[in-house]
Amino acid sequence: MAARSGLEHVEPSIFERGAPGRTGVQMPCGEAGEPKIPSSLLRREAPLLPEVAEYEVVRHFTRLSRLNYGVDIGLYPLGSCTMKYNPRVCEDAAALPGFANLHPMLPDGMAQGALEVMYELEKALVELSGMSAITLLPAAGAHGELTGMKVIRAALEARGDFRKKVLIPDTAHGTNPATSTLNGFQVVPIKSNEQGVLDPAVVAAAMTDEVAAIMITNPNTLGLFETNIFQVSQIVHEKGGFVYGDGANFNAIMGKYRPACLGLDVIQFNLHKTFSTPHGGGGPGSGPVGVADALVPFLPVPRVARNADGTFALREDFPQSIGRVRTFQGQFLVMVRALAYLRALGAEGCRRVAERAVLNANYVRVRLQDRLHVPYPGFCMHEVVFSEKFHKKAGVETMDIAKRLMDRGYHPPTVYFPLVVHGAIMIEPTETEDKATLDEFIGAMEGILDEVATNPDALHHAPSVTSISRPDEVLAARQPVLTWKPAV
């Protein structure tokens, strides 16, 4: 099998290359001759930097770029992350000098275009979610959750209610319990039923007047639609609690229904997942939050408003607001990309995105389900979760399969998440892939599953075409080596 990554010829580190005296640039001296630097400011010893020529620097960084995998290289099936292709037109919009060079401290009168972008984006998100108002301030999905839960707490406290518990289903995204805890709430885990969704009776039993809210990821981390969500919302509301919807998986539902209609009081969007911003590697992100009527007064400031004369302004005069959650106005250029994306798609395009996200995941499920165990059979939404049940019997771990995919030229899927599935493999093909690309990917998976039966050892030693094979991932995450240090 010919590997497609092209990484086989990449040499290891070249940072030590070069030779004394080599230099990449010759600074022109100009008519004044060499600049006069006072001797007190001159270095006494040369810096310990590699001495390299320009071509070596260019080759070094070009090689490094080829060690990485990205959505511009191919299908990126990292479940829960929605690693889809981001149209260049959105990048072009964000790069317009009027947006890209805008100073965040400009007075409103000199930033009318930017404020209008924010106002229009809020309107579009209101339209898609059915919520009453939006804040664009949070910097990522988890930050949106934190903001939304702060808003809920402020609303409860305003009515003299100091509830301390939050219900979190076992299929929620990991950031949900973290968010609740950071907000000072105590997490009450809720077990899903055999179909992998919430059981209203279980929620009813846990729903006391000590419970501030339930946080529901929908579609949940099993890739399943929470079919009882309306009933669950009613149960929570009857006991005076709020329903928080983690809307990070919005690409599965956008344009198909409005979450507010299912009883959600709060929802956060991950603009960087759903609305076209390249992400991974830590950012940039944006996690706007939409809220129902009762929570609007508590939204953070500043808020974008349209004046009677049609101009736009940032307003801070909301006495019940939770205050600021972010410097300036949030991740503005991510908002520009999101609005460009939504305008390019239109309402019908949004619906097609959701339909195709779901269709693609189900195509992968149906094509692989005889050979990879599906713990929750039946229709899935935008991602499909397999378990280790079949390959574990052959002595192959989920990690082996994930690593072997790299040898076949793909980024691995999300593994061992969600925790409710043993040895989970979570594949999110996303809406941007066509059938031919999906077939190629499925072919690669089938090839690996053939090896599970015939040559499992090849999997244990994968990947073999990357510059490093299996790093200690815990160590790499806890003690990352991010800077080059010269050998002294």
Cβ at position 267, least distance to ligand PLP in Å: 11
- Closest approach, Cβ 387 to ligand PLP, in A, equals 20
Residue closer to ligand PLP, measured from CB, 18 or 245:
245
Comparing CB distances to ligand PLP, the nearer of 80 and 86 is 80
Q: Would you say the C-alpha torsion 52, 57, 61, 62 has a positive or negative sign?
A: negative
How far from chain centre, in Å, is Cα 198? Answer: 24
Name the nearest CA neighbour of 408 among 470, 462, 460: 462
Q: Which residues contact 62 (CB under 8 A, 6 or more apart)?
A: none
Nearer to ligand PLP, 271 or 449 (CB): 271
Q: Judged by CB, which is closer to ligand PLP: 49, or 477?
A: 477
Nearer to ligand PLP, 81 or 111 (CB): 81
Question: Quick one: tokens of 58?
Answer: 């260019």
Minimal distance in Å, beta carbon 207 to ligand PLP? 22
Q: Which residue's beta carbon is nearest to the bound ligand PLP?
A: 141
Per-residue DSSP letter, 124 = H
From CA 197, how far away is CA 176, in angstroms rounded? Answer: 16
Looking at beta carbons only, is 5 or 179 nearer to ligand PLP? 179
Q: In the complex, what is the shortest distance from the CB of residue 85 to ligand PLP, in angstroms, rounded to a whole number? A: 17
What is the spatial distance between Cα 78 and Cα 76, in angstroms, rounded to a whole number? 6
| DSSP one-letter code for 467 | S
Q: How far is the CB of 81 from ligand PLP (least distance, A)?
A: 5
Contact (Cβ atoms closer than 8 angstroms) between residue 312 and residue 305? yes
Rounded to an integer, what distance in angstroms lies between the CA atom of residue 181 and that of residue 335? 28
Q: Quick check: helix, strand or coil at residue 62?
A: helix
CB of 385 to ligand PLP, least distance (A): 13
- Determine whether 106 is exposed, middle or buried from the number of CB atoms within 10 Å of its CB (0-12, 13-18, 19+): exposed
Site residues for ligand PLP per CB under 6 A: 80-81, 140-142, 173, 175, 217, 246, 248-249, 270, 273, 285, 287
At which residue do the structure tokens 């189900």 appear?
362
